[in-house]
């Protein structure tokens, strides 16, 4: 096993993008937020700082993953989180895009793993 395969998503992303570990979550959040949600996000963060907690928790869990299998599992957990089930998150998509997050992780992690049997709607 090479040392590169032993690196986490966070380590590989930060190395490739010249950012610190402290910047990882913020950069991933803004890269993966649905584009139509970007102008709304600052206001939501001001009025309801906890609104994006499920998204931040997902990103935090993905920091340590080393394989796409683990990404699929974390995304599955994200979609079954009860805090994810409200109109703004599920219908208006004011949240991070799981599809963007998965595609980003694929750029840094070894291939492998299959999506959940019944993939959630992205």
The Cβ-side half-sphere exposure at 31, using a 13 Å CA radius, reads: 16
pLDDT at 3: 57
Alpha carbon distance 61, 41 (integer Å): 21
Using one digit for the tens of pLDDT, what is the confidence trace for 2-15? 556 689 999 999 99
Using one digit for the tens of pLDDT, what is the confidence trace for 22-63? 999 999 999 999 999 999 999 999 999 999 999 999 999 999
3-class DSSP assignment, residue 33:
strand
């Amino acid at each position: 096993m090479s040392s590169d395969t032993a690196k986490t998503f966070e380590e590989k992303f930060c190395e490739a993008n010249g950012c610190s570990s402290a910047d990882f979550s913020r950069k991933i959040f803004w890269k993966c937020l649905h584009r139509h949600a970007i102008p709304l996000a600052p206001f939501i963060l001001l009025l309801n700082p906890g609104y994006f907690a499920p998204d931040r928790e997902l990103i935090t869990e993905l920091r340590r993953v080393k394989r796409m299998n683990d990404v699929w599992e974390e995304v599955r957990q994200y979609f079954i989180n009860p805090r994810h089930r409200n109109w703004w998150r599920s219908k208006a998509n004011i949240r991070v895009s799981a599809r963007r997050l998965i595609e980003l992780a694929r750029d840094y992690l070894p291939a492998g793993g299959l999506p959940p049997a019944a993939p959630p709607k992205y």
